[in-house]
Amino acid sequence: MKRRIFSGAQPTGRLHIGNYLGALQNWAQLQSDYDCVFGIVDYHAITVPFSPQEIKKRVFDCAVGFLASGIDPEKSIVMLQSLVPQHAELTWIFNCISPVQELIRVPTFKEKASQQKGNVNMGLLDYPVLMAVDILIYKAEFVPVGDDQIPHIELTREIAREFNKRFGETFPEPKEIVRPRMLGLDGTNKMSKTLGNCIYLDESPDEIWKKLAPAVTDTRRKKRQDPGEPNDCNIFKSYHKAFSNREELTYVEKGCRNASIGCLDCKRILFDNIVKELTPVREKIERFKDKKDYVMDVIIEGSKKAGVLAERTLREVKQKIGFDYLS
């Protein structure tokens, strides 16, 4: 039997190469060796201001991005969190064993609470508990995530441990499989839609080049003839390393250090590789966007399968806490 993985993405709209390299590409690779459940976590997404029409569109775009990146509904379960209400129910139970003094210390909570002072809602505080449920309700042993999610996985383990201690061995303590979050084209901030420092998966080669050409490199390399330091260059470190092969890496690394190539030469090689990797993804995005019924069917059927697994765990939990009226 394969071991289980759960991971989730918030439906934030258009996907960018940070989502692809940091998560989706990796998920697609993991699905042959693990029994995977991938969630579009829309209940998480409503902890920040949202609009009903917009979120529906984003859920769809997110599902399209999953499929275009190679997530295969024949191999993995693709589910929508709000279609599996067991998540919400188990969250209530977990709430009652989760210490508030720890939740208020979670870095993402502190950050969001200071960004949206007028909307420090309960969901924001409860975000990590719902996330623990996403993972534990499928008894997942591994969770591929970005490095910013590590505190959430630690809390998930604590909740599992606490439940097991009080009510008997029920949940495994899941481990994270970490990928660093990718820096944006500005070379300082993580790739983020609001900062506008990203390349989107559905952008044309022309659009990609327009963004890549002026992207920040080694800031001390001011003139073409100055030698550069690849290890101080975000384009080399985050981008070339992700898209180029070993020979190309050696070539640009040397060429940069002895100034035999300029930053634009280096970026042209990168550009070709990005286009090579992303063109099939972009084409699939276009294709799936036209197959609305198919995509929605994948989510609905996947959520039904997830619901069966989730219900099994929820029953076990209810039995263990003495809520066994129907069994």
CA–CA dist 316, 131 (Å, integer): 19
Does 190 participate in catalysis according to the annotation?
yes
| Residues binding ligand TRP (CB under 6 A) | 6-8, 10, 41, 44, 131, 134-135, 143, 145-146, 149
Name the residue number minimizing CB distance to ligand TRP.
8
3-state secondary structure (DSSP) of residue 133? helix
Nearer CB in complex with ligand TRP: 133/215: 133
Catalytic residue among 75, 165, 190, 210: 190
Q: Please name which of 235, 313, 234, 307 lies closest in space to residue 274, comparing C-alpha atoms.
A: 235
Does 291 participate in catalysis according to the annotation?
no
Catalytic residue among 56, 110, 112, 292: 112
Nearer CB in complex with ligand TRP: 139/267: 139
Query: Which tokens hold the place of 109?
Result: 């909570």
Which are the contacts of 62, defined by CB distance < 8 A and separation ≥ 6? 9, 10, 11, 12, 13, 15, 40
User: Least Å distance between CB 306 and ligand TRP?
Assistant: 13
Nearer CB in complex with ligand TRP: 44/139: 44
Query: Which tokens hold the place of 162?
Result: 């606490």
CA–CA dist 202, 213 (Å, integer): 18
Nearer CB in complex with ligand TRP: 79/263: 79
Cα dihedral 56, 58, 59, 65 sign: positive
Residue with tokens 């276009």: 286
Catalytic residue among 2, 110, 139, 193: 193
User: Least Å distance between CB 20 and ligand TRP?
Assistant: 14
User: Least Å distance between CB 299 and ligand TRP?
Assistant: 16
Q: Please name which of 136, 13, 34 lies closest in space to residue 77, comparing C-alpha atoms.
A: 34
Does 305 participate in catalysis according to the annotation?
no
- Catalytic residue list: 112, 190, 193
